[in-house]
Chains A and B, each alone.
Chain A
């Protein structure tokens, strides 16, 4: 039995070792080497890349990434919670609504982000419509700013918030809500004193699942931010392409990863402590 189990696990091990752990080790090694003139690396050990990360320019980018990711996560929660609550309450149409939530995944992420560009740009659908109706004379600056990036991120990662919230709300005993109302709690009181605390693990799962990909996003800030709101993902991507500074890109990736790990750890700790 034990032998059989190790055989079944072998492919997973092979994939994890060769495609995940090995590249990660390469990145770790690169981050301590010197950049080559045309990309690549020169084997000369240094911690220069890490020291450069402390530059205010990069700290600003990291700070902005956290800020934008946090905003996108909070908006996802504000939009996702009522949606998840609604789906968990709709008796017979649950599966339909859940499919609708997942539906955007059926098309390419890139295509969907371009679609947002068509909607938001100066000659896009929204501005054209508003001009036709006569509400505005000059197009609103909807694209190429932090707002557009947050919007794009919320749009992209909302399902990752809705699904764990839905799972948590679905498990909630409806009698508990009746008991709360029975004891004099108005709906909003019941929401904050019963539903939210009992959905704690689901809420934290949603926050983590949205915040982490938002923090590392590069396509959305690239296309919707238009280079004006650079996030750490763009910084890293740039080091491996235009800037040809692989060691610095590696160091930035590892620092980002370390920060994400710390956040995850804090979230897991919180879950382990809870009674539920």
Chain B
């Protein structure tokens, strides 16, 4: 496993005068994987990315790229590349000029071919002579990815690259990005605060909070078996019932009390129609509020009804 690691952080800390952004952070990326750093704003995920890119210098700790410590190298001395949140395309250069920027070695023909290839890869062929101002948000994002991919980085760092796109486009770009990563096989380190992005794209996620990683695992592992309450509530919604955590879709609801299963009586407060599903909000006798997510095809409930809620024992979230 260690031999496979392309990037490894060992007890990396970054202290700013006013706060500690990153605290003894350790994790490793396997070659070719799509890895996401997920967390709320201020959790240190962007600082971590900037430490790897070289825009910040760690206070302590090591950053190993292919086994060599790069923690104190300048950004232009490390073979990683960043896709910025605002893309940071050079406005005075065309698409071609932007992509060529990192390609200084090799003959003209060689460079031209690589530019053509990468533009084809991100489906921007024919756009070579456009300026960034003449591109749509989605096209700019793809130019930024192409500009970074063309230098063949060991790790591609992506800082919330979808947050500047409009929501309708995001879903499509998520699928494209995932497919692109599979095709090129480059290791992607993706920073996001968006739980849908974190669940749908990466192979593994690290959930960060307060400058430390709370849990690392596949999206499924983290969603189904969150190790801490923070992870459970940051990635997906949770009903807290008598100290136990249950996901809304695992929280069952019915008019009649189920047999042979522990259950609780509740009163429906509100029924929210969400198109393909309902969110039924109910209040338990203890005063706790629960949300049950049910299919549109299931029975509908009205506010004021008395209902029963229950869940399977294996659906209860267990924390360490």
Q: Which residues of A contact B (CB under 8 A)?
A: 173, 175-176, 178-186, 193-194, 197-198, 200, 275-276
A-B contact pairs, 21 of them (CB 8 A): A173-B88, A175-B84, A180-B90, A180-B101, A181-B54, A181-B74, A182-B53, A182-B55, A182-B76, A182-B82, A183-B76, A183-B81, A183-B101, A183-B102, A183-B148, A185-B76, A197-B92, A198-B90, A275-B91, A275-B92, A275-B131
B104 within 8 A of A: yes
Pick from A182, A186, A194, A200 the residue with the most CB of B within 10 Å: A182
Cross-chain contact of A178 among B80, B88, B133 (Cβ < 8 A): B88
CA A180 to CA B88, docked complex, whole Å? 9
- B151 touching A179, Cβ below 8 Å: no
Known A-B contacts A181-B54, A184-B102; the reply to A194 vs B82 at CB < 8 A is no
Q: List the A side residues contacting B82 at CB < 8 Å.
A: 178-179, 182
Q: List the B side residues contacting A173 at CB < 8 Å.
A: 86, 88
Q: List the B side residues contacting A198 at CB < 8 Å.
A: 90-92
**Given A173-B86, A181-B74, A275-B92, 20 more pairs with CB closer than 8 A:** A175-B84, A175-B86, A176-B90, A178-B75, A178-B84, A179-B82, A179-B88, A182-B54, A182-B148, A183-B151, A184-B76, A184-B102, A185-B101, A186-B76, A193-B101, A194-B90, A198-B91, A275-B91, A275-B131, A275-B133
B279 within 8 A of A: no
B142 within 8 A of A: no
Q: List the A side residues contacting B151 at CB < 8 Å.
A: 183-184
CA A186 to CA B102, docked complex, whole Å? 11
Count residues of B near A (Cβ-Cβ below 8 Å): 24
CA A198 to CA B132, docked complex, whole Å? 14
Chain B, 55-107, CB within 8 A of any chain A CB: 55, 74-76, 80-82, 84, 86, 88-92, 101-102, 104
The list of the 10 closest CB pairs from A to B, nearest first, reads A183-B102, A175-B88, A181-B75, A179-B88, A197-B92, A181-B76, A182-B82, A184-B76, A175-B84, A183-B101
Q: List the A side residues contacting B76 at CB < 8 Å.
A: 181-186
CA A245 to CA B101, docked complex, whole Å? 60
Q: List the A side residues contacting B104 at CB < 8 Å.
A: 184
Q: List the A side residues contacting B89 at CB < 8 Å.
A: 179
- A176 touching B88, Cβ below 8 Å: yes
- B75 touching A182, Cβ below 8 Å: yes
CA A176 to CA B151, docked complex, whole Å? 17
Q: List the B side residues contacting A175 at CB < 8 Å.
A: 84, 86, 88
B147 within 8 A of A: yes
CA A178 to CA B151, docked complex, whole Å? 15
CB distance from A194 to the nearest CB of B (A): 6
Q: List the B side residues contacting A183 at CB < 8 Å.
A: 76, 81, 101-102, 147-148, 151
CB distance from A91 to the nearest CB of B (A): 12
Q: List the A side residues contacting B81 at CB < 8 Å.
A: 182-183
CA A6 to CA B165, docked complex, whole Å? 45
- B55 touching A178, Cβ below 8 Å: yes
Of all chain B residues, the one with the shortest Cβ separation from A181 is: B75
CB distance from A12 to the nearest CB of B (A): 35
Of all chain A residues, the one with the shortest Cβ separation from B94 is: A275
CB distance from A105 to the nearest CB of B (A): 33
Q: List the A side residues contacting B55 at CB < 8 Å.
A: 178, 181-182
Q: List the B side residues contacting A182 at CB < 8 Å.
A: 53-55, 75-76, 80-82, 148
Q: List the B side residues contacting A178 at CB < 8 Å.
A: 53, 55, 75, 82, 84, 88
CB distance from B4 to the nearest CB of A (A): 25
CA A200 to CA B92, docked complex, whole Å? 10
Known A-B contacts A179-B82, A181-B76, A184-B151; the reply to A276 vs B92 at CB < 8 A is yes
Q: List the B side residues contacting A184 at CB < 8 Å.
A: 76, 102, 104, 151
Q: List the A side residues contacting B131 at CB < 8 Å.
A: 275
CA A179 to CA B86, docked complex, whole Å? 11
CB distance from B65 to the nearest CB of A (A): 14
Q: List the A side residues contacting B148 at CB < 8 Å.
A: 182-183
Of all chain B residues, the one with the shortest Cβ separation from A183 is: B102
CB distance from B42 to the nearest CB of A (A): 19
Interface string of B24-68 (1 = CB under 8 A from A): 000000000000000000000000000001110000000000000
Q: List the A side residues contacting B75 at CB < 8 Å.
A: 178, 181-182
CB distance from B158 to the nearest CB of A (A): 12
CA A186 to CA B54, docked complex, whole Å? 13
Of all chain A residues, the one with the shortest Cβ separation from B150 is: A183
Interface string of B149-181 (1 = CB under 8 A from A): 001000000000000000000000000000000
CB distance from A276 to the nearest CB of B (A): 6
CB distance from B206 to the nearest CB of A (A): 22
Q: List the B side residues contacting A276 at CB < 8 Å.
A: 91-92
Of all chain B residues, the one with the shortest Cβ separation from A197 is: B92
CA A194 to CA B88, docked complex, whole Å? 11
Q: List the A side residues contacting B147 at CB < 8 Å.
A: 183
CB distance from B82 to the nearest CB of A (A): 5
